[in-house]
Chain A
Amino acid sequence: MSRPGANPLALAGRVLVWLVVAAGGVAFAAVLLYAVLSALKPAGQVLAVPLRWFPDPFRWSNLLLPFTETAFARYYLNSTIVGISVTALNVFTCTLAGYSFAKYSYPGRNVAFVVVLATAMVPLEVIYVPLYALVFQLGWVNSFAGLIVPAGTSAFGIFLMRQAIMQVPDELLEAARLDGAGELRSLVQVVVPLVRGPIAALALFIFMTNWDSHLWPLLVGSDDAHTTLPVGLAAMQANNLGATGIPMMMAAAILALLPTLLLFLTLQKRFVQGVAMTAGIR
């Protein structure tokens, strides 16, 4: 009967909602802009009254302060090493297990899969005391092994890869076998190229989650050689509460955000799918 928006009252209601949403958006953006601009201000201007938005002059050299004044480069390197290793390990273990659960039948398969799914119900927060005790006994405290190995697989990843690989027609695998391909070769040459999308989503998601990881690295990587960005940032923050430290802290926070932010901006769609999917199984 009435086209959307034809009714003036409905249109007014809609515009009102739009205004609220836009105002929220402005508030959201203001915080980001404030953080970025504060990173570029001379120290005296950060907490100036009245509030000044734009630095005068822009101190681009502030962006180097974390590197020259703290071990920021080391934290960055450590986070990169851990992030890439954990991601690679997850892609490896989850693809293999997903393939195994999707395309083979053997006694105990369903039990193993259900057990894996059940672990998705146990968040790190609940088990980190005994997990730390275990890693302590293994001698992995303050080591990359302690940061990487326990995070080496994920229920979400296995579930995702299993769902994706189930879509691969069995006929393709049979054909590869007839051509004499072994099980691993058909995985690498037939399955993996067909599930590149899900693998990318998995990699993106694991990397971003790991980049954010704070509690576990705080426990097992708190010495200088193994400090990751979240742990390092938190420690820097505690030592730089004065006004002069603020531009450096803002620069450090912005620089720490960059990798995941750029990944997000380039791969938005996959990230959004990943969030929607993890909500589905966690």
Chain B
Amino acid sequence: MAVSRLRADGLVRSRRRVDVRRDVVGAALAIPAVALFLAFAIWPALRVFYFSLYEYSLTAPPEWVGLENFDFLLHSKEFHGVVLNSLFYVGGTYVPSVCLALLLALALRSRMPAAGAVRLLYFVPVAMSWVAVSVIWRLVLQPDGLLNQTLGLDLNWLTSSATARWGLVMMSVWKETGFFLILFLAGLTTIPDDLYEAARVDGCNAWQRFVHVTLPLLKPTTAICSIMAVIRGFQAFSAQYVMTGGGFGTEVVNLFVYKTAFENARMGRASAVAVLMFFLLLVLTLLQLRVFRRDDR
């Protein structure tokens, strides 16, 4: 969307008389930002590919190993487990979050009493930092904490492989639902009221209006939410780091990269994981841009 607008803008510009001196100043204004990007985003992004082909420990010079890092990862049971943990976290957190957010958005639009207060309650966790939320939820998930006592359970949520991942999922649903709610509420405002009016005149009931008007028109928003969900899920780090340190089936990809690079000083292998993650996130982001472009038209 941005690119096509840029081109049109450029054409109009080129027909005008060009004031060279002015444009030199104009170009110079972009230098601070572009220089920071080159040094701290693009250069490291290129280096991650380079590192992935080396054995590198920061203190010793890199040593060429070719595709060995990738070969190791693809055959490593531990890495497979890590990927499965991440997939569980992504699916477990975001399927309920996105569904709940959609339900909430619809309820809040339908003149629910105290909608403002309800919205606020769901938004507040979005504004909180992950580490502080993790500290709070450690208490909630204590054996004598809020959750066990409310539900009458007796579980060691964070110190058992059967429950730790579910504890993290619960916490993340609490933290993330509001985020998707924001996106859904934004998406709902793009649906014109006339469409509902028209559907009503045609004799559609609430359910039919939901299925035939709301859902199809919310499709781009739902797609964005799903893609964002997967992207955010694979970026998870703080919750796992604080709550379990990656134990009990909660070691996600990002925590694995951190440990590999900085606890075991295997920067090459960690970079190889990052390369794999790069392609995954790239595909997701390109999908997202596609959905948005279609949305724009």
Contacts and interface: CB of A to CB of B under 8 A. Distances in A.
Interface residues of B, number: 114
Contact-residue bracket for chain A: 35 or more
Given A214-B238, A268-B123, A282-B231, A105 B131 contact: no
A215 interface: yes
A170 to B, nearest CB: 10
A92 B32 contact: yes
B128 A257 contact: yes
Contacts of B83: none
Nearest to B178: A28
Nearest to A276: B186
B205 interface: yes
B206 A212 contact: no
A211 B23 contact: no
Nearest to B6: A110
* Majority secondary structure of chain B interface residues (helix, strand, loop or mixed): helix
A150 B40 contact: yes
Contacts of A206: none
Contacts of B100: 24
Interface of A: 1-2, 4, 7, 9-10, 13-14, 17-18, 20-22, 24-25, 28-32, 34-35, 38, 46-51, 92-94, 96-97, 99-101, 103-106, 108-110, 112-117, 119-123, 125-134, 136, 149-150, 152-153, 155, 158-159, 166, 182-184, 187, 208, 211-212, 214-215, 219, 229-231, 233-234, 237, 246, 249-250, 252-254, 256-257, 260-261, 263-264, 268, 271-272, 275-276, 279-280, 282
Given A34-B146, A96-B32, A133 B267 contact: yes
Contact of B103 (A21, A97, A119): A21
B121 A29 contact: yes
B42 A115 contact: yes
Nearest to B112: A18
Contacts of B65: none
B60 interface: no
Contact of A276 (B44, B129, B183): B183
B88 interface: no
B274 A129 contact: yes
B153 interface: no
Contacts of A25: 117-118, 121-122
B133 to A, nearest CB: 8
Contacts of A254: 132
Contact of B30 (A96, A105, A183): A96
Given A46-B139, A105-B14, A257-B128, A153 B23 contact: no
A192 B292 CA distance: 29
A136 B261 CA distance: 14
Given A130-B48, A233-B132, A234-B242, A122 B41 contact: yes
A149 B36 contact: yes
B32 A13 contact: no
Contact of A129 (B34, B145, B261, B285): B261
Given A116-B34, A129-B270, A153-B36, 4 more contacts: A21-B118, A104-B22, A109-B30, A129-B267
A119 B135 contact: no
Contact of A96 (B33, B145, B207): B33
Interface stretch (B74-82, B160-168, B211-219, B275-283): B275-283
Give the 6 A-B CB pairs with smallest separation, nearest first.
Answer: A104-B26, A130-B47, A264-B127, A97-B33, A230-B131, A100-B30
Kindly name the residue among A14, A127, A212 whose own CB sees the greatest number of chain B CB atoms within 10 A. A127
